[in-house]
């Protein structure tokens, strides 16, 4: 919506919003997660195509996606943030291989995606070549808001309110310590709900999305984990069962959610990295030292080993 041409917007946005066409994010790589600007997947322009080679990992829903957004390196001689470009990739192009990664929940959410001499039409570039980092930052800021909804599990799981209501329906809990934990959980949920309204109001007032998206995610990920920890504790020994504990309801919510919960503070930016953003961009603390600042990506420490191989 922000960086595409009119043709790109007309073609892609509506089917994306209606979910007629599922998309995935081809960002992370084995050596580029928190340090996303270290992406090594190469896109080399040849005539009216880019030739893409490399590997992505943790790509949620790549196996279901019709398109992916790809961050790839178009200029390895520029500093690492300045040589990246942002593309739209039809996931059925020849040379793309998708292999599943099964999580400890037993579900298959994410994948590895390998690119071997994939011919990507040049018109699939979004924005300008080598300016992809700006687009990636916009994507990540928006993702942080989407992931930081009130319900646990990035919005699609139960909320603190759901758990408290369930406990009420079951006649409450006699243990005062557990009651205190539930009250605290409920308060966290309310703070997040009100924070969310404030962010919506800011957007409606036309304010751009800033580093506050990191604050929100830093608060809501541990909150999601608290919901499942308390649900497990309420379940007692039956909480050890993989399917339906005494909390009943949808097993996806409780047993599966408990196993998924560690992922919350990793995906979309880890808690540690979010705290760096809050420290540097909101609190004005000194920036983390960057030994690679100003050096060409090919000259940075982490690529030297890879090139030697
Ligand atoms: C459920 C789930 C879905 C995902 N879906 C996608 C997807 O669709 N597309 C995609 O591209 N990626 C996806 N990811 C990947 C995700 O973005 C990365 O896992 C995440 O950015 C962390 O990168 P990493 O795993 O390489 O960990 P690393 O970056 O290697 O981090 C390892 C540890 O070091 C810490 N650390 C790293 N750097 C710093 C620092 N500067 N200061 C302090 N601590 C630091 C981290 O906090 C972490 O604890 C998904 C991840 C999960 C869990």
Ligand 1 center–CA 232 separation, angstroms: 26
Residue 231: CB within 6 Å of ligand 1?
Answer: no
The minimum-distance atom of ligand 1 relative to the CA of 269 is 21
CA distance 73 to 82: 9
Take atom 50 of ligand 1 and give the residue whose Cα is closest: 267
pTM: 0.90
Residue 55: CB within 6 Å of ligand 1?
Answer: no
Ligand 1 center–CA 269 separation, angstroms: 6
CA distance 240 to 75: 51
Domain boundaries, the chain: 6-130, 148-269
Phi and psi at residue 299, in whole multiples of 5°?
Answer: -95, -5
Residue 60: CB within 6 Å of ligand 1?
Answer: yes
Q: What is the pLDDT of residue 243?
A: 58
CB 87 within 8 A of CB 56: no
Q: What is the pLDDT of residue 308?
A: 38
Give me the CATH code for the 148-269 domain, please: 1.20.140.10
Angle, to 10 degrees, between the axis of helix 160-169 and the axis of helix 176-204?
Answer: 140
What does pLDDT average to in each consecutive run of 10 residues of the chain (309 residues)? 96 97 98 95 98 98 98 97 97 98 89 98 98 94 77 79 91 95 96 86 85 86 93 81 55 76 92 94 91 89 51
Q: What is the pLDDT of residue 155?
A: 73
Phi-psi region of 125 (alpha: psi -120 to 50; beta: other; left: phi over 0): beta
Half-sphere exposure of residue 119: CA atoms within 13 angstroms, side-chain side? 5
The minimum-distance atom of ligand 1 relative to the CA of 270 is 47
Centre a 10 Å sphere on the Cβ of residue 259 and count the other Cβ atoms it contains: 15
| Strand (E) or helix (H) holding 69 | strand 67-73
Residue 229: helix, strand or coil by DSSP?
helix
The minimum-distance atom of ligand 1 relative to the CA of 263 is 53
Q: What is the pLDDT of residue 197?
A: 86
Q: What is the pLDDT of residue 309?
A: 39
Ligand 1 center–CA 185 separation, angstroms: 26
Q: Please tell me the CATH superfamily of domain 6-130, with its number.
A: Butyryl-CoA Dehydrogenase, subunit A, domain 2 (2.40.110.10)
Strand partners, 296: 79
CA distance 235 to 219: 25
Q: What is the pLDDT of residue 144?
A: 81
Q: Do domains 6-130 and 148-269 have the same CATH topology?
A: no
The residues carrying an active-site annotation are 143
């Amino acid at each position: 919506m922000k960086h595409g041409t009119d043709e790109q917007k007309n073609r892609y946005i509506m089917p994306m919003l209606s979910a007629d066409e599922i998309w995935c994010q081809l960002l992370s790589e084995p050596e580029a997660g928190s340090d996303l600007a270290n992406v090594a997947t190469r896109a080399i322009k040849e005539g009216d195509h880019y030739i893409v080679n490399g590997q992505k990992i943790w790509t949620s829903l790549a196996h279901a996606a019709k398109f992916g957004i790809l961050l790839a390196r178009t200029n390895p001689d520029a500093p690492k943030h300045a040589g990246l470009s942002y593309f739209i990739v039809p996931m059925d192009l020849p040379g793309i291989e998708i292999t599943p990664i099964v999580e400890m929940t037993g579900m298959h959410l994410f994948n590895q995606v390998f690119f071997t001499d994939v011919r990507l039409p040049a018109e699939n570039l979004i924005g300008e070549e080598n300016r992809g980092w700006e687009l990636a930052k916009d994507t990540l800021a928006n993702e942080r808001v989407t992931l930081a909804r009130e319900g646990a599990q990035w919005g699609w799981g139960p909320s603190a309110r759901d758990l408290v209501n369930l406990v009420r329906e079951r006649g409450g809990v006699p243990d005062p310590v557990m009651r205190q934990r539930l009250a605290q959980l409920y308060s966290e949920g309310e703070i997040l709900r009100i924070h969310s309204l404030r962010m919506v109001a800011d957007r409606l007032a036309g304010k751009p999305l800033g580093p506050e998206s990191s604050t929100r995610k830093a608060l809501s990920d541990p909150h999601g984990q608290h919901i499942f920890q308390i649900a497990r504790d309420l379940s007692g020994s039956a909480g050890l069962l993989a399917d339906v504990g005494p909390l009943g309801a949808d097993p996806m919510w409780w047993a599966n959610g408990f196993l998924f919960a560690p992922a919350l503070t990793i995906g979309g930016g880890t808690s540690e990295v979010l705290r760096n953003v809050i420290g540097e961009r909101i609190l004005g603390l000194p920036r983390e030292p960057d030994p690679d600042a100003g050096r060409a990506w090919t000259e940075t420490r982490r690529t030297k080993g890879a090139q030697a191989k």
